[in-house]
Amino acid sequence: MSDFPSNWGRWGDSDQRGAVNLITDEVRARGVAEARIGLTVSIARATTPFPLTGGPMAPTTAATTAVQTAMLFTGFGAPAMAEVMIVTTHHPEVTHLDGLGHWAEGGRVYPGVDVADSSGPTGVRHGAADVYGDGILTRGVLLDLAPGRRLSPGHPVTGADLDTAAARAGVRVLPGDALVVRGGWDRVVDGDQPLPGMTLDAVRWMHEHGIAVYAGDIGDARPPLPGETPGALHRFALGRLAIPLIDAADPENLAAVCERLERWTFQFVVAAPRIVGTTGLPVNPLAVF
Amino acid sequence: MSDFPSNWGRWGDSDQRGAVNLITDEVRARGVAEARIGLTVSIARATTPFPLTGGPMAPTTAATTAVQTAMLFTGFGAPAMAEVMIVTTHHPEVTHLDGLGHWAEGGRVYPGVDVADSSGPTGVRHGAADVYGDGILTRGVLLDLAPGRRLSPGHPVTGADLDTAAARAGVRVLPGDALVVRGGWDRVVDGDQPLPGMTLDAVRWMHEHGIAVYAGDIGDARPPLPGETPGALHRFALGRLAIPLIDAADPENLAAVCERLERWTFQFVVAAPRIVGTTGLPVNPLAVF
Amino acid sequence: MSDFPSNWGRWGDSDQRGAVNLITDEVRARGVAEARIGLTVSIARATTPFPLTGGPMAPTTAATTAVQTAMLFTGFGAPAMAEVMIVTTHHPEVTHLDGLGHWAEGGRVYPGVDVADSSGPTGVRHGAADVYGDGILTRGVLLDLAPGRRLSPGHPVTGADLDTAAARAGVRVLPGDALVVRGGWDRVVDGDQPLPGMTLDAVRWMHEHGIAVYAGDIGDARPPLPGETPGALHRFALGRLAIPLIDAADPENLAAVCERLERWTFQFVVAAPRIVGTTGLPVNPLAVF
Amino acid sequence: MSDFPSNWGRWGDSDQRGAVNLITDEVRARGVAEARIGLTVSIARATTPFPLTGGPMAPTTAATTAVQTAMLFTGFGAPAMAEVMIVTTHHPEVTHLDGLGHWAEGGRVYPGVDVADSSGPTGVRHGAADVYGDGILTRGVLLDLAPGRRLSPGHPVTGADLDTAAARAGVRVLPGDALVVRGGWDRVVDGDQPLPGMTLDAVRWMHEHGIAVYAGDIGDARPPLPGETPGALHRFALGRLAIPLIDAADPENLAAVCERLERWTFQFVVAAPRIVGTTGLPVNPLAVF
């Protein structure tokens, strides 16, 4: 894979934003121009937390979830209700942004920082998710790989698949775009079947088209795709191309709206809570029409 | 206070969105029209988590924070770094959205639901923060109460203060707008001094101007303002008018950008992680120019 | 039930130790005299924590548990492994001590303290589990209600049942003793069947025999026993008689050892971690022979 | 240090109990014989948890602690109060048992297991703290290094110091004993001064005397002792001799009782909550007289 393209060094030796650098002023202006009526559609999965309480106060058996909450006792007669929340961000039940510091290839994080320097017991020092603290705004393009249905189990998504979807929608993907992919799969609900996944060919396509950020319900296949590089999306799109990934996204509603409006481009905007120094954060990316 | 205006029942007996209903299609279109160049500015406070680890692995004394993280052991030689995160949402260190179910006046949550029905040990059933799961987008207006400085300690913010700031900026606040207020205070950093706060008069002003959502660095005063109704913002804006509050916002950078661009209106957009059934969620509201 | 005996006031108006006061110097000496060979047997249930990590790092579906752990990243090449642990104490999967502040009858905690005074959002001020910080040591007696088998589903345990078991073992229960009861049930494993439980009659028996502390695999029945007072053990033994309960104990190994040694009395000792101000704590009570 | 004695292999290649194997039947009987009146004294530090709640519900600044609790909302009118508890076990504020799997020297855990085999993201598979699930009972000996006062800052504790204390108390330390050491220091309260610590010479003394388990307020020095092997107690007593350590113990009350009774030996008993698969657990060791 040593001939696979790399963005390491492309924006300097200490860059932390990666492919988001492709969102220039011109790209940003193209993004906001897509928003006309102000309709907003979430591209996030709804996550139902599981209560931390047990015993007689809650069921004792349940599926685990990415988020757990405990409703707090705020005092007798207190007017406010509140809770504490425990989040395991990199979980398929919650839509989350993978920061560049989440992934180390050969012990190094984009653009070449030793993982021992980028991450420590108390947090992330290089490539944390909060480097996008002012939000990411650009044009978004939905490529629906299986309109009205879902991809076959274990389908290897290729660049040709992405081209086909773009042609079907009549859109041209441009440098700096946010790529939103729908395959009709949910890693949690469908987790007992072979999950489709991105091939290295698809990641190369992302590079050639200058994708700045990725969001989709298709990630890396499980089990690995026969004859394909395993973990292509995380290893090459996130690790080598420094494209931040919005993992476990849910573009189902977005696809319905695109169909209805007959538009597959929109203002894409995402802003994670400004929590400093983490490898990832839960997010709710929006498509604005 | 029984003559204070109320929105209970205004949008039906089972409504969960409150004043966000004021954001009509027309209002939304006005909101997106504000975005021209695509510049995004966060209105959130950066929150530095404190590590959960202790002993020789981390300092044993520190200020508490709203967010704690523990970097996880993902296995020897694993390429991915990850953490678990504990969030106490209603904390002055983290910008968060107060859902309508956060507040009960007289044992009732907007628009009259018994708090025993809206909240239980396992979560919120009415007025949870996730009812805004598709995001909130409208026009935002920054009213800077103390440009280039901060309000006096314990200053009672009135409707006249808001009018003065609007006149200074040359803006007219319209129904459905997001009101962003800057007073130059930070509840954490400045917590040892008397905090300014909203008066009932200011909340009445919000009602008269049809504010749909509030974000600011001014909340309820601490200690209570002499001669004023304590907790006016939470009790009346959130509780009675059902205006969702974005608490502990940080409009400092936004004020600088507004000054530079000489514009105090913008596309306001906020989308909390889609975590279901909580009284509040950490958010990162954006101003888009 | 107003004629049911009560220990409220028996040891003063501000007492926090309840029936543990029955363990006098003489009783304690009787307890240590039981230990001769130093064989120790745990009366606690082994609790397997569930990992907090998710995604590719751990299974995404599993039964919940009382304890969750996350193995921490302690640095590359660090010699120490460590974890953070989340405990929901009052859970049937973990043997735990119910402090007297865990239970309020009619809004009052033994011996008559308003629950608003005994408990607040930041912890327990009266009747916390740590009042037994120096440990509880006394003579323990195992009453095995169903040697070599288990009680019938939904069996109502009465004083006569306890008498029968004592006669079978040839022991006389004395004031200040720790009562250990085995019924052969596990609330987690057998939770889909009607659980046997203590009747008010059995609780009265405990009072008449001067039980100082209770540990057992029989608690309150679920569903409630027909024709019996629901929650008799928690409401009357814990709430009114102030007998601290060791909930979700597992006397299975102990019963086997008692059979083998033909002895049903032993030194009983329990010492919870000295964590201050909680309603309960996980414990590992020991029988010492 | 390659000539330093080692217990690796002494009890087989798959042993998980280490020096606790020194507690034979005879040693155990000697232990229980020490208990005569049944007086129990805790050797644990009292740990005050810090509340997880924030904002108006709790102070926003405080020292961190090993344990955090959140009082739960159990429903309106519910008779039971309960909390969730977050524990970072290896913290100087909480007395805890270091299991043998806590420490890896040269990537190996006693008695030679690769740390990648002993520990994984979901827990400890070899040398977990729960291997002592039935408790540890033996004779305990208190060696008070500085009766009525505390050791000098940065004092290097040697075998000669231990001999002096034993001679002063008139006790002979025997194989299988639990060694309890008092130096009068508290790592949390006194953490701003140079902490005394065990030298390699003292660890060798422990080996020569056949110590089975260690508890004390003296651990490894901080900063490291000049001219001494750093981390001698953890690296050599725990790592090589497989003596489980009870870290952050508090023998202050015990010393007072020993003085009063003029006895420096006692029944030592410790039983951690039976939580499976962790590197350590909070404990409350007892001295029984």
Q: Are residues D174 and D254 in the same domain?
A: yes
Selected residue with higher pLDDT from A129 and A123:
A129
With 0-12 CB in 10 A as exposed, 13-18 as middle and 19+ as buried, what is B226?
A: exposed
pLDDT for C62 equals 37
Is pLDDT at A72 greater than 60 in this prediction?
A: yes
Closest CA to C274 of C266, C282, C286: C282
pLDDT per residue as tens digits for the range B69-84? 788 888 888 889 998 8
Average pLDDT, chain B: 92
pLDDT per residue as tens digits for the range C191-215? 889 999 999 999 999 999 999 999 9
Contact: A134, B276; criterion CB under 8 Å: no
| Local structure of residue C214 (DSSP, 8 states) | E
Average pLDDT, chain D: 92
Interface of B to D at Cβ within 8 Å reads: 50, 52-57, 59-64, 66, 72-76, 86, 88, 90-93, 115-116, 119-121, 188, 191
Which of C25, C51, C282 has the CB atom closest to D122's CB atom? C51
Residue type, position B205, single letter: W
What mean pLDDT do residues B145-159 have? Answer: 98
What mean pLDDT do residues B131-159 have? Answer: 98
ipTM field? 0.95
Q: Are residues D241 and D113 in the same domain?
A: yes
pLDDT per residue as tens digits for the range B220-271? 999 999 999 999 999 999 999 999 999 999 999 999 999 999 999 999 999 9
Q: Are residues D40 and D57 in the same domain?
A: no
* Structure-token match 């006569």, residue found: C160
What mean pLDDT do residues C34-45 have? Answer: 96
CB contact at 8 A, C250 and C57? no
Residue C213's domain is classified under what CATH number? Answer: 3.50.30.50
Q: Are residues D131 and D227 in the same domain?
A: yes
Is pLDDT at D6 greater than 50 in this prediction?
A: yes
pLDDT for B180 equals 98
Point out the domain boundary residue: C87, C112, C147: C87
pLDDT per residue as tens digits for the range D117-132? 999 888 899 999 999 9
Q: How far from each other are the two terminal CA atoms of chain A, in whole angstroms?
A: 39
- Angstroms from D48 CA to nearest CA on chain C: 5
Q: Are residues B133 and B243 in the same domain?
A: yes
Angle at C10 between CA C7 and CA C12, to 5 degrees: 125
Is pLDDT at A57 greater than 50 in this prediction?
A: no
pLDDT for A53 equals 59
- Angstroms from A180 CA to nearest CA on chain B: 16
Is pLDDT at A153 greater than 80 in this prediction?
A: yes
Cα atoms found within 13 Å of the Cα of residue C33, Cβ hemisphere only: 6
Query: Is residue C5 in a domain?
Result: no
Q: Which residues of B touch C82 (CB under 8 A)?
A: 53, 55, 57
Average pLDDT, chain C: 92
pLDDT for D121 equals 84
Other beta carbons less than 10 A from residue D125's beta carbon: 15
Domain count, chain C: 2
Query: Is residue D4 in a domain?
Result: no
Contact: D72, A75; criterion CB under 8 Å: no
What mean pLDDT do residues D136-159 have? Answer: 98
What mean pLDDT do residues D244-256 have? Answer: 97
Contact: A60, C92; criterion CB under 8 Å: yes
Which of B52, B61, B119 has the CB atom closest to D88's CB atom? B52
Closest CA to B233 of B254, B205, B210: B205
Quote the percentage of chain D above a pLDDT of 90.
Answer: 79
Give the DSSP H/E element, type plus range, for residue D140: strand D136-144
- Angstroms from D153 CA to nearest CA on chain A: 29
Q: Name the pairing type of β-strands B136-144 and B178-182.
A: parallel
pLDDT for A260 equals 98
Report residue B163's pLDDT band, with 50, 70 and 90 as the boundaries.
very high
Q: Which residues contact C49 (CB under 8 A, 6 or more apart)?
A: C65, C67, C68, C69, C85, D123, D275, D276, D277, D278
pLDDT for C1 equals 56
Is pLDDT at A95 greater than 60 in this prediction?
A: yes
Q: Are residues D63 and D180 in the same domain?
A: no
Q: Are residues A54 and A138 in the same domain?
A: no
Point out the domain boundary residue: A87, A116, A139: A87
Is pLDDT at D261 greater than 60 in this prediction?
A: yes
Angle at A226 between CA A107 and CA A92, to 5 degrees: 60
CB contact at 8 A, D256 and D263? no
Q: How far is CA D140 from CA A198, A203, D173, in A?
A: 62, 64, 9
Q: Are residues C232 and C278 in the same domain?
A: yes
Interface of D to B at Cβ within 8 Å reads: 50, 52-57, 59-64, 66, 72-76, 86, 88, 90-93, 115-116, 119-121, 188, 191
Report residue D93's pLDDT band, with 50, 70 and 90 as the boundaries.
confident
Selected residue with higher pLDDT from A89 and B70:
A89
Positive or negative: CA dihedral A212, A217, A218, A219: positive
Which of B168-182, C80-94, C131-145 is the least confident region? C80-94
What mean pLDDT do residues A75-102 have? Answer: 91
Q: Which residues of D touch A72 (CB under 8 A)?
A: 52-53, 57, 70-73
Q: Could you give the CA distance from residue B280 to residue B284 in angstroms, rounded to a whole number? A: 13
Average pLDDT, chain A: 92
CB contact at 8 A, A206 and A212? no
Strands (E) across chain B are located at 40-42, 50-51, 67-71, 83-88, 96-98, 108-109, 113-114, 119-120, 123-124, 136-144, 156-157, 178-182, 197-198, 213-216, 245-247, 265-270, 280-282, 286-288
Q: Which domain holds residue A77?
A: 50-87
Is pLDDT at A111 greater than 80 in this prediction?
A: yes
Q: Are residues A124 and A56 in the same domain?
A: no
* Structure-token match 């440990």, residue found: C135
Contact: A288, B277; criterion CB under 8 Å: no
Q: Which residues of A touch C64 (CB under 8 A)?
A: 50, 54, 59-62, 64
Point out the domain boundary residue: A87, A107, A141: A87
Q: Are residues B61 and B182 in the same domain?
A: no
Query: Is residue C9 in a domain?
Result: no
Q: Which residues contact B143 (CB under 8 A, 6 or more apart)?
A: B162, B165, B166, B169, B171, B173, B179, B180, B181, B182, B264
Selected residue with higher pLDDT from B283 and B76:
B283
What mean pLDDT do residues C258-283 have? Answer: 97
Selected residue with higher pLDDT from A32 and B120:
A32
pLDDT for D57 equals 46
Quote the percentage of chain C above a pLDDT of 90.
Answer: 79
Q: Which chains touch C (3 or more CB pairs under 8 A)?
A: A, B, D
Q: Which residues of B touch C84 (CB under 8 A)?
A: 52-53, 70, 84
Is pLDDT at B29 greater than 80 in this prediction?
A: yes
Q: Could you give the CA distance from residue A56 to residue C97 in angstroms, rounded to a whole number? A: 16
- Angstroms from C55 CA to nearest CA on chain A: 4
pLDDT for B51 equals 66
Query: Is residue D11 in a domain?
Result: no
Query: Is residue A8 in a domain?
Result: no
Report residue A48's pLDDT band, with 50, 70 and 90 as the boundaries.
confident
Query: Is residue B8 in a domain?
Result: no
- Angstroms from D76 CA to nearest CA on chain A: 9
Q: How far is CA B170 from CA B139, B165, B167, B203, B288, in A?
A: 15, 8, 5, 21, 19
Q: How far is CA C62 from CA B85, C52, C58, C68, D187, in A?
A: 21, 11, 10, 12, 39
Q: Are residues B79 and B120 in the same domain?
A: no
Query: Which chain B residue has the Cα nearest residue A72?
Result: B121
Phi-psi category of A285—alpha, beta or left, where left has phi over 0 and alpha has psi -120 to 50? Answer: beta
pLDDT for D60 equals 42
What mean pLDDT do residues A215-220 have? Answer: 97
What mean pLDDT do residues C133-139 have? Answer: 97
Q: Which residues of D touch B66 (CB under 8 A)?
A: 54
Q: Are residues D54 and D73 in the same domain?
A: yes
What mean pLDDT do residues A145-163 have? Answer: 98
Q: Which residues contact C69 (CB under 8 A, 6 or more apart)?
A: C49, C50, C51, C52, C83, C84, C85, C86, D123, D275, D277, D278
Selected residue with higher pLDDT from B115 and D59:
B115
What mean pLDDT do residues D156-163 have? Answer: 98
Contact: D84, A74; criterion CB under 8 Å: no
With 0-12 CB in 10 A as exposed, 13-18 as middle and 19+ as buried, what is D167?
A: exposed
**What are the beta bridge partners of residue A97?**
A246, A281
- Best D50, D74, D83, D91 residue to mutate vs chain B (most B CBs within 10 Å): D91
Q: Could you give the CA distance from residue D193 to residue C16 in angstroms, rounded to a whole number? A: 37
Q: Which pTM value belongs to this model? A: 0.93
Contact: C64, A76; criterion CB under 8 Å: no
Selected residue with higher pLDDT from A67 and A17:
A17
Is pLDDT at C63 greater than 50 in this prediction?
A: no
pLDDT for C191 equals 83
Which of A103, A137, A274 has the CB atom closest to B38's CB atom? A137
Query: Is residue C274 in a domain?
Result: yes
- Angstroms from D220 CA to nearest CA on chain A: 21
Q: Which residues of C touch A64 (CB under 8 A)?
A: 50, 54, 59-62, 64
Query: Which chain D residue has the Cα nearest residue A83?
Result: D53
pLDDT per residue as tens digits for the range D165-201? 999 999 999 999 999 999 999 988 888 899 999 999 9
CB contact at 8 A, B19 and B213? yes
pLDDT for B191 equals 83
Contact: B278, A105; criterion CB under 8 Å: no
Q: Which residues of C touch A55 (CB under 8 A)?
A: 88, 90-92
Query: Is residue C252 in a domain?
Result: yes
